[in-house]
Amino acid sequence: MKIYLIGHFGQLGSVLGQKLTSQYEVIGTHRMIVGDSIPNVDLIINASAYTHVDRAEVERGSCHAVNVELPKYLAQKAREMDIPLIHFCTNYVFDGNRHGCPYVETDRCLPLSHYGKTKLEGTLVVGNEHSKYLVFRLSGIYGGVRSFVKTMTDAYHKRAEVIVVNDQAITPNDVSPVSEVVVNIIHQMTLPGFNKWGTYHLSGEGETSWHNFACSIYEKLNMMNKTQVPAPKPISSEDYSKKYSGTIAARPRYAVLDSSKLARTFGLTLGSWEEQFEEFWENEYCPSKSNPSSMNTINH
C-alpha cells in the first residue's frame, strides 16, 4: 500500500509516519494547499491542522483554509481516485457542559471557539464529499515534536513560575499509542469487505485537569533529578484569561471522550491516561527500561 501523508513533520504526523514506514510506502509532505497535486496512492492521511486555538480567533481565514477548505479538497480528490481518506478532529467541538459524562460520537457538537468550529466543519465536509473516510477525534495529545510535556519540562529546568488552569477536564493521550491504533486500523482497512467508515473517538480512559497533569510531570522530574521544585500553581480559566491577554478563545470545561465505539468496531483501546503517561515517561526519560504498548487488543 502506498500512503500520502500530509502534515508529515507535525506532532501527530511525525510519529504516525515513523510507524507507517515500517509496513507501507509513505510519501510525506509537511504542508499542502487546495489545488496541489496528489500522487498516485492508495490512501490519503491528513494529519495537518491549524491548532493555535487563540490565534485562530484573529487569523480566521488561515484557520478556515487549513481546517475546512483543505479537508474538503482532499475528500473530493479521494472520491475521484476512489481511495479512502483518514482525517483527524478534536474534542474542542463540544461545549463542555456535561461534567462527568464523556462525550460519544452522536452527541451534539457546540464548539466554543473558531478553532473548534472549523474542525467540526472540516469533519462534516469530509463526510459530505466522500463515503470512504475515517475521522478520529482526539484529546490532549502529547509527545512527538512538541507538546505540553515538553513545555512543562522546559519550564521546570528554567525554574520558571508556572501557572496552569485547573478547571478543564481532559484525557491526556500519548501520540505514540494513538498512532499505533491508527496503523492497526489501516491494516484492517486492507482486508476484504472493510466497511467501517465514519467518525470515531480515539482516547484513553479516565480524566484529569491540565494542572493535575502538570503536577504529575513535575513529580516525575523531581524524582528523576532528586530535587524539590515547587509544583505549578493552579488558576481558573477565567483568571488565566485576565492574566494573559493573548488567551482569547473559550475552551470547554469538560472535554472527555468515550471511545467505546472504536473498541467495539475495531477491537482496540488505549490504556488509561495514567498508564500511557507511565509508559511515555519510561520510554522518553528512562530508555533503558522497556514496557508493553499502551494500545490494547480486545479479543472478541
Which of the four pLDDT bands, split at 50, 70 and 90, describes residue 299?
very low
Residue located via cell numbers 476512489: 82
Burial of 57 (0-12, 13-18, 19+ CB in 10 A): middle
> How far is residue 25's CA from residue 3's CA, in Å, rounded to a whole number?
6
- Residues 108, 112, 115, 118, Cα dihedral to 10°: 40
Which of the four pLDDT bands, split at 50, 70 and 90, describes residue 133?
very high
Q: Encode pLDDT of 162-214 as tens digits.
A: 999 999 999 999 999 999 999 999 999 999 999 999 999 999 999 999 999 99
User: What pLDDT sits at residue 292?
Assistant: 53
Residue located via cell numbers 472527555: 256
Q: Are strands 295-297 and 268-270 parallel, antiparallel or unpaired?
A: antiparallel
Query: Measured between alpha carbons, how far apart are the two ends of the chain, in Å?
Result: 27
Q: Which helix (H) or strand (E) holds 28?
A: strand 25-29
- Rounded to whole angstroms, what are the CA distances from 74 to 10, 24, 91, 137? 18, 20, 22, 18
Which of the four pLDDT bands, split at 50, 70 and 90, describes residue 294?
low
pTM: 0.92
Which of the four pLDDT bands, split at 50, 70 and 90, describes residue 286?
confident
Q: Which helix (H) or strand (E) holds 269?
A: strand 268-270
Walk me through the domains of the chain, giving residue ranges and CATH numbers.
2-141+173-205+257-297 (3.40.50.720)
3-state helix, strand, coil in the chain (%, to 5): 40, 20, 40
Would you say how long the chain is, in residues?
300
Mean confidence (pLDDT) of the chain: 93
**Phi-psi region for residue 226, left (φ > 0), alpha (ψ -120 to 50) or beta?**
left
> How far is residue 259's CA from residue 254's CA, in Å, rounded to a whole number?
15
